[in-house]
Amino acid sequence: MILFAVESSRLHDCSLNNSGVAVIFVKIKKIDPIILHAQDTGSHESELNVGGYAGFQVVVHVETDEGFDGWGECCTGGEYGESALAVKTLIERGFVPRIKDEDPRDYRKIWEKLYTDTSWFGRRGLTTFAQSGIDTALVDIAAKSYGVPASRLLGGRYRSEIPLYASLLFDMDDVWGTAEKGARYIREDYFGAKFGWGMIPSKPFGANPEADEKMIAAIRETFGPQGNIMVDVGRYVNWSSDHAIRMAKRFEKYGIFWLEEALPQDDLRGYERLTNSTDVTIAFGEGLYTIYDFAEVITRHAADLLQPDASKVGGISEMKRVIELARINNVRWVPHNWSTAINSAASMQLVASAPDGFLMEFKQESNPLVSELSKEKFRIEKGKLIVPDLPGLGIEIDQNVVDKYRWQP
């Protein structure tokens, strides 16, 4: 319903539609979950899981009766597109009938409804991916409807530029090449560079303590004393907590900024032990869902630094709850961000909106879903992301790029 005349005392809780007309009610009209597929261009496709982690993503486009629209992301991955298909089905069959005609500005109320309604089979995993895409799209719409960046809707804008760390993969066949790949970003004034997993799954980091230490030593030598190094063990290897404690000790002398995902994601007891056995900062959290998982990690002191992912944890509003919980417990956090431009924009708004936001991950292995999806390209100056003063997430999705990478099973 469009309201042509609004009492001035009520203007503060009104939105203006595209024609500049004040509106009291906005309704969700259309929800379109779209599967995109694009491979990292630098990946060794012969051996990398085809369409692996960064391959299949679901982006959600939500349109309203007042002309506002929003975009969200479900960072599904999945080797054969199966998770993306399941998320698309969940949204189309289960979410659309539940939330069509709702007001997108009730995004938290909608989040709680979807969480409760799907609790029999949901609460984690693919259902939370699906909720993430919807939630971020609704927050995007809500912020656009008020004409403010999402960071302001989330409570305030604390900063207009965000230090970045470059996110890269180890090439265990090329120690000095890997180090040099990261050094480029240190020279460009990035906060640091993270190396993870391995370009080739059968030759991962983490498989040989001597080779691992040689790699970290080479990176430190190349960076010099100042550049921050983050080490992401990842899931190609399976360390025990004993082994992780020994490796943390080996890496201590290279002054690494954090050690990430050193243990399997379900080994909370191991994380607890590791975190309390080393001075190295233990980072963890890209595989955790909703505030409930993070509350457990914080309560048990199973990490020093948390890495929630807005496209997985339950969306931008759920991530805001997670980072608030981290802040009141004096635990640091840095968004996990390795999928599309939508998640980069969501992470940017969250870091901008938080008093203790200090750093953001920015994927540097090239993938068109990061570099091409937004018409407005991310502005990076001296290693810092410039937060645009635009409404919503602050990006404009290029429909041609969506069509180019749209995947039909």
Footprint of Mg ion (CB under 5 A): 232, 286
Burial of 120-133, coded b for 16+ CB within 10 Å and e otherwise, reads eebbeebbbbbbbb
Decide whether 83 or 337 has the Cβ nearer to Mg ion.
Answer: 337
The nearer residue to Mg ion, 194 or 320, going by C-beta atoms, is: 194
Q: What CA dihedral angle connects 134, 138, 140 and 146, to 10 degrees?
A: 180
What is the nearest approach in angstroms of Mg ion to the Cβ of residue 287?
Answer: 9
CB of 286 to Mg ion, least distance (A): 5
**Minimum distance, C-beta of residue 306 to Mg ion, in the bound complex (Å):** 12
The nearest distance, CB 165 to Mg ion, in angstroms, is 12
Strands 161-169 and 192-196: parallel
Nearer to Mg ion, 320 or 336 (CB): 336
Is residue 139 within 8 Å of residue 153, measured between CB atoms? yes
Q: Which two tokens stand for residue 6?
A: 């609004």
With a CB cutoff of 8 Å and minimum separation 6, the contacts of 156 are 353
Nearest position to Mg ion, beta carbon = 232
> Whole-angstrom Cα distance, residue 45 to residue 39?
8
Q: How far, in Å, CA of 89 to CA of 109, rounded?
A: 22
Closer CB to Mg ion, residue 94 or residue 264? 264
User: Which residue in 348, 302, 282, 356 sits closest to 324, CA to CA?
Assistant: 356
Q: Nearest distance from residue 58's CB to Mg ion, in Å?
A: 20
Residue 259: which of 295, 299, 228 has the closest Cα? 228
Q: Which residue has the tokens 């599309």?
A: 340
DSSP string over 209-274 = HHHHHHHHHHHHHHHTTTSEEEEE--SSS---HHHHHHHHHHHHTTT-SEEE--S-TT-HHHHHHH
Q: Least distance (Å) from Mg ion to the CB of residue 284?
A: 9
For Mg ion, the closer of residues 73 and 286 by Cβ is: 286
Nearer to Mg ion, 69 or 232 (CB): 232
CB closer to Mg ion out of 171 and 286? 286
Nearest approach in angstroms of CB 69 to Mg ion is 31
